[in-house]
Structure 1
Amino acid sequence: MAFPFNHKTLVMTNLRQLFLQNLAQTSDSPLAVEVERAEGVYMIRKDGKKVIDLISGIGVSNVGHCHPKVVKAVQKQAEQYMHLMVYGEFVLSPQVQLANEIAKTLPEPLKNIYLVNSGAEATEGALKLAKRYTGRSEIISAYHSYHGSTHGPLSINGSEYFKRNYRPLLPDVRHIHYNRFEDLEFITSRTAAVIVETVQGEAGVVVPEPGYLPALKQRCEEVGALLILDEVQTGFGRTGTFWGFEQFDVVPDILLTAKGMGGGMPIGAFISSHEIMRVFQENPFLGHITTFGGHPVSSAASLACLKIVRKEKLYKQAKAKGELFKKYLKHPKIKEIRSLGLMMAVEFESFEVLKPIIDEAVKKGVLTDWFLYNDKSMRIAPPLIISEKQIKKACEKLLKAIDKKPKK
């Protein structure tokens, strides 16, 4: 039964109860951690206890929580103007400056940026762009891939479990096995685009085999299909270079980014050449529209974030810091650690072994989780600013959580 809300409500009913009552839930057991504030690699709870954030809001807070330069950029822009007009109609300085700085990080011909609100929206835009440019309908993605949860991305995601109850979805979608060279023959003259993650995230950090991405791009070129690389998780320094694809001798036709791009604010983008992106201008004109895409405040935050990552060369620190986790995180129960920079998966025997460890880690002040398609692996993707001292402390707490004997 609903009840009226007034200033006394929070006294009578605690925040957690209101959270469970009024916010739509997507699981029957949410973490429900109450955070008073966040700073750097820490989230501070109501009781003042600090929690080391080892997942960065799932790869979002690359420069840490509430970075002073990002906060200042948000405040300054909010005082000037916020939403004025749908994306692409007005010349808005934060959008223009951001697009210009992103273009500087990219090789030719990736110089045309379409700003949106999220990674899922970036995927949606890229799928439309590929179909419109090629005049084809087939989209190929990889098994165990994740590209978002709206209707289009859900259609190409590589897990039937998460989409079977939402069918029918987009037609003409096919899946291939990531890193399986022989599957490239399934890419044909019917294919509009192949979309893959540069590093598969929700599969549990699956890194491309040597030569796989160049071979994939070559096959796409042979049949006239476009290659879309999803760097929603890997972009903005996460893997040891500013863009993950820089490490694999490949340049996509369309690039997706979001998450770590915004410094904590919601923003995303799909990026291509002027030639490809130009198809949105006619037949029909306004071929892709977004009201809040490239929101001025989010764009200002993203610009500040980009400058921090590049000026402080945080991407160059990611590989060494990833190695520190491997150095300090050694335990007989750990079967394997897969990583590229600070995108890491720590594998255990099973979910039944891992879940109590994650729960105990939160109690000890370290936040981790598992992957959608690999629930026996622990996700580690902390802010890129994390120090060696903080890494060591986090690993000590994780080892204690691993050693904690579960209650019978």
Structure 2
Amino acid sequence: MTGSTKNYRWAFSSDFLVIEPYLFMNNRQLFLQHLAQTTDFPLLIEVEKAEGVYLHGPNGEKYIDLISGIGVSNVGHRHPKVLEAIQAQLDKYLHLMVYGEYVQSPQTKLAEALCKTLPPHLDNVYLVNSGSEAIEGALKLAKRYTGKRNIISCVNAYHGSSHGALSVGGNEIFKRAYRPLLPGVTNIHYGALADLEQINPDTAAVVMETIQGEAGIRVGTKDYFQALRKKCDEMGALLILDEIQAGFGRTGKFWAFEHFEIVPDIIVCAKGMGGGMPIGAFIANKEVMGVFKNNPLLGHITTFGGHPVSAAASIATIEVLKNESLIEQVEGKANLIKSLLIHPKIQEIRNKGLMMAVKFESFEVLKPIIDRAIALGVITDWFLFCDDSMRIAPPLTITEEELKKACQLILQAIEAS
């Protein structure tokens, strides 16, 4: 027999009465008690509903999401077309079999849709669950195809948190606690032409963010990327471009590499790909991808990669980006933000499309501004390796009026801090 009083739960056994504390925890307390934490200072914003560019709290709070869940909600939260595609797939089937065995319409149609956005050379898609997993697959593919073991990546690069992805990351603060990591990795400076000389005949691949994200939005020149492409070709190294943040329209083109008139050997994507659902991919030429089929067979395996519901959501996301002309609007919206965010405390705005960094004097100046902006109803953030700059990466669906309101609130936060 069991029962309860105000603060205790009690139970009778055959031998004795057990009385133990019983606490009624709210969601915030449960979050802190039972969910693994990544910092000692989480934002603790409680969200009851999200729609478009807004997050809604349980007590009437309303926030403009200016970071899109870190580049995920490119078509906004719960876009009707994405929800429609999810519901239609729910009525058919969920997970059926590990990736690559059954012919599943959402996977095949998504692969076709992705290839249509890319140059003909990139015609083979491997679907996974996340950006980190896509990087892992791309690194394995480059080593397997070239027969080489050395990888070059960039200082202050971020490619994910799994061991391989962390190995090619470029910030020692995040890496040192987990060493030893993948051997044979060398870092060069993004955008530095002289550093390209470190690419040599022993290099399997160069892995690089097309636009550096966590470094605070750093944008290479066309000359740099064309020299990089040429050097990789000369040395027989594959060029892996990480567009986990930059892809799916964020920079004003579907793929950021289109700005530089080059084509990578492998492209990696995730985040904005699924309209809010978890999915990622690495894409290469069919000949290159074919090395996973033997010696050993099943050279790369994923159970849930290309989950049919996520794949259906991704197809809908691609259609929304195209049918609503969202990519064509990116540059104009970015220019509007730059025209509105003018203040003596703002030192610089770096961007490629709606992938933006607003620079302040220091983290000590920036952090109170971010906190105040959240209190006023605008969610922004800083960057892992650039804590003096404010991240702005709104859903591409954001309207000019919503942008004006968000910028007004940021300026208000700056004045109040």
TM-score, length of structure 1 as denominator length: 0.96
Counterpart CA distance in 1 for 2:301 and 2:25 is 42
Counterpart in 1 of 2:232?
Answer: 220
In structure 1, how many angstroms separate the alpha carbons of the residues matched to 2:73 and 2:350? 21
- 1:6-405, aligned counterparts within 5 Å? 12-405=24-417
The 3-state SS of whatever aligns with 1:383 is: coil
Deviation at 1:72, TM superposition (A): 1.2
Q: CA deviation at 1:86?
A: 0.4
Query: For each residue in 1:147-167, what CA deviation from the matched residue of structure 2 results, as whole angstroms up to 9, or x when unmatched?
Result: 000000000100000010100
Q: How far has the Cα of 1:11 moved from its partner?
A: 8.9
Give 1:224's aligned amino acid: G
Residue type at the aligned position of 1:58: I
Q: Which amino acid aligns with 2:105?
A: S
The separation in 2 between residues aligned to 1:252 and 1:129, in whole angstroms, is 14
Structure 1 counterpart of 2:397, one-letter code: I
Instruction: Report if the CA contact (8 A) 2:269-2:282 is conserved.
Output: yes
Distance of 1:380 and 1:178 partners within structure 2: 21
SS of the residue corresponding to residue 250 of structure 2 reads: coil
What is the rounded CA distance, in whole Å, between the counterparts of 1:317 and 1:279 in structure 2? 40
Q: Matched residues in 2 for 1:197 and 1:29: separation?
A: 28
Q: State the aligned residue count.
A: 399
For residues 105-138 of structure 1, give each alpha carbon's deviation from its aligned partner in whole angstroms, at most 9, with x where no partner exists: 0002001000000000000000000000000000
Shift of 1:49: 2.2
Which deviates the most, 310-319 or 226-235? 310-319
Q: Tell me how far apart the structure 1 counterparts of residues 390 and 350 of structure 2 sit (CA, whole Å).
A: 10
SS in 1 for 2:153: strand
SS in 1 for 2:177: helix
Change (3 A) 1:88 1:346: same
Q: Following the alignment from structure 1 to structure 2, what is the Cα–Cα distance between the partners of residues 94 and 207?
A: 34
Partner Cα distance (2:385, 2:404) in 1: 28
Mapped to 2, the partners of 1:311 and 1:131 lie a distance apart of 39
Q: CA deviation at 1:350?
A: 0.2
1:344–1:92 Cα change, 3 Å: same
Q: What secondary structure is seen at the aligned counterpart in 1 of 2:48?
A: strand
Give the SS at the match of 1:65. Answer: coil
Give me the whole-angstrom Cα distance separating, in 1, the residues matched to 2:223 and 2:112. 31
| CA apart distance, 1:28 | 0.2
Could you tell me whether the CA contact under 8 Å between 2:348 and 2:360 is conserved in 1?
yes
CA distance in 2, matches of 1:263, 1:311: 15
Query: Residues 279-329 of structure 1: CA distance to partner in whole angstroms, max 9, x if unpaired?
Result: 011111111000000000000000000110011121111111000100111
TM-score, normalised by the number of residues in structure 2: 0.94
Counterpart secondary structure, 1:80: coil
CA distance in 1, matches of 2:385, 2:61: 31
Amino acid aligned to 1:276: V
**Greater Rg by CA:** 2
The aligned counterpart of 2:18 is: none
What secondary structure does 2:211 align onto?
coil
Once superposed, what is the RMSD of the aligned Cα atoms?
A: 1.3
Give CA-to-partner distance per residue, 1:254-302, whole Å, 9 cap, x none. 0000000000000000000011001011111111000000000000000
Letter paired with 2:408:
E
Look up the SS of the partner of 1:211 in the other structure: helix
Taking the aligned partners of 2:120 and 2:82, their CA distance within structure 1 comes to 29
> In 2, distance between residues paired with 1:96 and 1:103?
11
- Offset of residue 210 of structure 1: 3.1
Residue 10 (structure 1) shift: 12
Paired residue secondary structure (1:324): helix
